[in-house]
Amino acid sequence: MPIDVGIVTDVGEALLALNRAVADTPFTAPLNWKETVLGKRREPNSHEEQDTHAEGRMHPYHAMKARFTSLEPGSIISIDGGETGSWANDLTESANPHLTFFSAGYIGMLSNGWGYSLGAAIADLTRLVINIQGDGSAGFQIGELDTSKASYRAVADAFGMPAAKVSEIDFINPTVRSFLAMQGPVMLELIVSDKITHPGTAAMIGNTSDPNTIVVPYYDNVPRPYYK
């Protein structure tokens, strides 16, 4: 966008200053404009009258509304996704939330919702945190659901891909051979030891057990600061 007046500053400070300046100006928005704009919020949502289903599947508006109205007031809602996000944005008031945030805005960044929700849950332990997530968006960072015990075979299975989890060397050959007889992509999950480190990794991260050293992969290790 073309810039008329460029300002380099802290955003918060700038907004506070602008608000102070606006309060001093004689300008007031025309009353009819205010009424029109505020009146829009009171207009019934046009989807309200539509059928709850389309060709046997739930209408996204009604599904989202049922989801939000089943919450107690006061939760934190993270919104992530394309249209999914738009339906959720339209309906957040029906959840009566403490706050909402939209993690996939104008410049993209789909799939931050998982991480942002985790952050919100840690920041405020007293509130329920909901992440509304489109399936396409979910695919970018679905690994956020991972735990050290995650079964990738189960993940592939859930996406409809034939998969096997093998923990013994003798089973690898027969499993691979059975996969070769199949059409399309398959997935083999091999459970190997986490007690053996490749020397290349050790060289990169600096092989140390010194508790006063912070290991920085790819760079030099650094001493732990005295105040930690």
d(CA 90, CA 196) in angstroms, rounded, equals 51
Of 80 and 153, CB closest to ligand TPP: 80
Of 109 and 214, CB closest to ligand TPP: 109
d(CA 170, CA 221) in angstroms, rounded, equals 40
**Least distance to ligand TPP from the beta carbon of 99, Å?**
21
**Least distance to ligand TPP from the beta carbon of 63, Å?**
11
d(CA 223, CA 211) in angstroms, rounded, equals 9
**Structure token pair of residue 200:** 């290349």
Of 136 and 143, CB closest to ligand TPP: 136
**Least distance to ligand TPP from the beta carbon of 122, Å?**
24
* Residue ranges with strand state E in the chain: 53-54, 57-58, 76-80, 99-102, 129-133, 163-166, 187-190, 213-214, 222-223
**Least distance to ligand TPP from the beta carbon of 158, Å?**
16
d(CA 113, CA 227) in angstroms, rounded, equals 33
**Least distance to ligand TPP from the beta carbon of 111, Å?**
7
Of 79 and 163, CB closest to ligand TPP: 79
Q: CA angle, 66 as apex, 104 and 131 as ends, to 5°?
A: 30
List residues near ligand TPP by CB under 6 A. 81-84, 104, 108-110, 134-137, 140
* 15 to 6, 8, 12, 20, 116: CA distances (angstroms): 14, 12, 5, 9, 24
Of 78 and 164, CB closest to ligand TPP: 78
Q: Which residue is nearest to ligand TPP (CB)?
A: 134
